[in-house]
Amino acid sequence: MTTTEKEIDYSQYPYVDKGLEGIVAFSSRKSLIDGAKGELYYAGYDIDSLARHSTFEEVCFLLWNERLPNKAELHELNEKLRSERDLPEVVLNYLKSVNKDSEPMAVLRTATSMLADEDPESADTSSEASLRKAIRLTAKLPAIIAGFDRSRNGKEILSPLKKNSIAFDFLYMLNGEEPGENAERTMDVLLITHAEHGMNASTFTCRSICATMSDIHSAVTGAIGSLKGPLHGGANTAVMNMLKELDKDTDIVAFIKGKLERKEKIMGFGHRVYKTYDPRAKFLRTMAKDLASEVDMEYLYEWSESIVKVMKEEKNIDPNVDFFSATVYYSMGIQPDLYTTIFSMARVSGWTAHYLEQLSKNRLIRPRVLYLGNENLEYVPIDER
Ligand code: CMC
């Protein structure tokens, strides 16, 4: 006799929640999400002021140290991040030889794991060594993403210039030319807005791996695997794939209603925590509008606004960070299947910050499962089955 999900009396199990909704698994000083008000703070600073005034490097310092750096500290971190941007030979060879049709997130996952073999402190799980490795990972992920994209397009993989910001060198390594100030700043703001977000699925994965006392490369590799899914970071690529299905003659209301009737999820909408507009989406919405019009792609922004309107009317659901970021990336000329890798390049700061926090007060993460299967069956030898 097995039990079905419907037959379970969940009132007997106060701690059971499919999807762990509302369950508090950790305490953290890294970020605060107010889902009702639609507010997000990194270590006390609201996302809007960070996106307007800060840099990704400063946000990394903030997340790792839970305070803003002074000038000397920021200079020192910038120097370290610049000096660590090169990739080891073995990873460069992998990027050159890997199947050109591979998914960029799968390549990023494998290459990140390979970095561990080349890291002099790979097995050292002390917090000092883990912070140094966090800096190396944050510095190197952009080179992996750009290197794979160039290699799959038959272009030479470029070494980092090791100057200016991570955003600057990433765009240089990707496009083969130094970005202008606006492009660098746009990429920097994308990195800031994607850096950290409470106990999302990939951060939970990262902390669970850390909690076994495994190393930071394993935790970040696992987190990349988690972010890849379309219900999490993979949604930004899925948004652009959806927008590409449209043309000027599409009846967007009918298009979205049709998807909803078929019980399909509209990518870039909904959130487990926000019950109102995601503050990151609010910021990216303005960026999408401005950038799309700069490159004569206003239509992308207009279609997006029509989708937002239908989703509000039909489901009362607002867009999340992945909806307008897709238009921002597209307007910058970035290939849609790279969007989630860029999300990873930003979120590595949050993952590693949580890794360090978990290390500082670690306890193994080991929830229970409600067993629904058979019990006390008699083993039947294979010839008698
Ligand atoms: N399109 C259509 N209906 C939706 C959507 C959506 N995007 N999101 C939620 N709903 C409906 C859902 O069908 C359900 O309706 P009903 O009660 O009638 O069955 C109700 O809203 C509650 O949804 P849920 O799936 O129980 O919510 P959840 O908290 O389990 O899932 C989510 C959250 C983000 C996975 C979900 O909203 C979703 O699948 N969104 C699309 C994928 C997406 O954009 N993901 C990126 C999330 S934000 C960035 C990140 O963290 O990576």
Q: Which of 77, 122, 105 is nearest to 216 (CA)?
A: 122
Q: Give the separation between CA 325 and CA 193, rounded to whole angstroms.
A: 10
Structural domain spans, the chain: 31-232+336-360, 235-331
Ligand 1, pocket residues at CB < 6 Å: 19, 200, 231-233, 235, 265-272, 315, 317, 320-322
Q: What is the CATH number of domain 31-232+336-360?
A: 1.10.580.10
Q: Give the separation between CA 325 and CA 50, rounded to whole angstroms.
A: 17
C-beta of residue 205 within 8 angstroms of C-beta of residue 226: yes
Token pair recorded at residue 374 = 């058979």
Q: Residue 85, exposed/middle/buried by CB under 10 A (0-12, 13-18, 19+)?
A: buried
The per-residue pLDDT string of the chain (385 residues; one tens digit each, 9 = 90 and over) reads 666 777 777 777 766 677 888 888 889 999 999 999 999 999 999 999 999 999 999 999 999 999 999 999 999 999 999 999 999 999 999 999 999 999 999 999 999 999 999 999 999 999 999 999 999 999 999 999 999 999 999 999 999 999 999 999 999 999 999 999 999 999 999 999 999 999 999 999 999 999 999 999 999 999 999 999 999 999 999 999 999 999 989 999 999 999 999 999 999 999 999 988 899 998 899 999 999 999 999 999 999 999 999 999 999 999 999 999 999 999 999 999 999 999 999 999 999 999 999 999 999 999 888 888 999 999 999 999 9
Is the pTM value of this prediction over 0.85? yes
Residue of 259, 264, 265 to mutate, ligand 1, most atoms within 8 A of C-beta: 265
Q: Give the separation between CA 172 and CA 184, rounded to whole angstroms.
A: 10
Q: From atom 50 of ligand 1, which residue's Cα is the shortest distance away?
A: 232
Span from the CA of 271 to the centroid of ligand 1 (angstroms): 6
Q: Which amino acid is at 311?
A: M
Architecture of domain 235-331: Orthogonal Bundle (1.10)
98 φ/ψ angles, rounded to the nearest 5 degrees: -65, 150
Please give the span between the terminal C-alpha atoms of the chain, in angstroms, as a whole number: 18
The enclosing H or E element of 41 equals strand 39-42
